Amino acid sequence: MGSRGRPRGDGYPYEDDDRDAAARDPEPEQDAPAAPPEPGGRAERRRLARRVRRRRRTRRAGELPLLVVVALCIALILKTFLVQAFFIPSGSMEQTIRIGDRVLVDKLTPWFGSEVERGDVVVFKDPGGWLGGESVQPTEDPVGIKQIKQTLTFIGLLPSANEQDLIKRVIAVGGDSVKCCDARGRVSVNGSPLDEPYVNPGNVPSEIRFEVQVPAGRIFVMGDHRANSADSRYHLDEAFHGTIDVQDVVGEAVVIAWPFGHWHRLEQPATFRMVPDQARGGRRAPRRRRGGSSFA
């Protein structure tokens, strides 16, 4: 039998009904995949910034050892050829230089033919036996601090308290005649008496009488604290009458660098500019560098 005349809803829906149902209840669509972030977006910029920061940190970490090596090399060059710090362990140069002061010593100018002059304060190697009684043993540092100080001393950033060197003032150079004392108790060089305001207050120029002809290439030295300085005067009976070979001079002390309260330049006293150069027939010695005040 045909379906004509059958009422709807008898279990045999028409095709139109199927289409209507599909339209009313469409199948759920699957979620579309997320689109990739657009180039130049905020998230991408953050990732790039983090990557740049990591690269910079890595580069810096790799450069640090090289910078340390370069700094150490520069410090060693400065110590060897230019400037070195020295610790003063005794009072032989008071009040000009006091115990515990740190002085900077110019080691460069001798490389250019500069000669030691009268009035210079110089550091020189112990000729043998001069350090006895003058040096002061430094206090023992705790473990760790001691090793750090040794490292800084080796590269020249810290002065050593154990240097076998002395510091004194040059009174006469090769060819000079140095004598003490004249009628007023003064030291004279080539017959010219010295006015010595740098001598430690309360000291006389010298309690030891002497007369020395300084050999060529050597210097006669004295400490400013004349009552507490085992200088050339105490070695007159030795070879060369207590004079020092200029080859043993480490350099010229140019400034007291520490403590800051003692800071000042060590200039050539004016009294030495009045000394005639005996080796040049009585003419005054030419000055090779800096002027100076009357005080060291």
- Distance in angstroms (rounded) separating the CA atoms of residues 171 and 176: 9
- Distance in angstroms (rounded) separating the CA atoms of residues 249 and 7: 132
The pTM of the whole model exceeds 0.75:
no
- Cβ neighbours of residue 274 under 8 Å, at least 6 residues apart? 192, 284
Q: What is the pLDDT of residues 228-271, one digit of tens each?
A: 999 999 999 998 999 999 999 988 998 888 888 888 888 889 99
pLDDT band at 286; cut points 50, 70, 90? very low
Closest CA to 272 of 159, 173, 131: 173
The Cα-based distances of 164 to 39, 86, 131, 153, 235 in angstroms read 71, 11, 7, 14, 18
If you write DSSP's letter for every residue of 196-258 in order, what string do you get? -TTSPTT--S-SS-EEEEPPTTEEEEE-SSGGG---GGGGTTSGGGG-EEGGGEEEEEEEEEE
Q: What is the pLDDT of residues 144-196, one digit of tens each?
A: 666 665 665 655 555 555 566 899 999 999 999 999 999 999 999 999 999 99
If you write DSSP's letter for every residue of 147-194 in order, what string do you get? HHHHHHHHTTSS--TT--EEEEEEEEETT-EEEE--TTS-EEETTEEP
Does residue 110 contact residue 249 with C-beta atoms inside 8 Å? yes
Residues marked as catalytic: 92, 168
The arrangement of strands across the sheet holding 187-189 comes to: 192-193, 187-189, 177-180, 210-213
The two beta strands, 210-213 and 218-222, are: unpaired
Coil, strand or helix at 94: coil
What's the chain's Rg over C-alpha atoms?
Answer: 43
Q: What is the pLDDT of residues 60-111, one digit of tens each?
A: 666 666 666 565 565 555 555 567 778 788 889 998 999 888 888 887 766 5
Q: Which of residues 179 and 34 earns the better pLDDT score?
A: 179
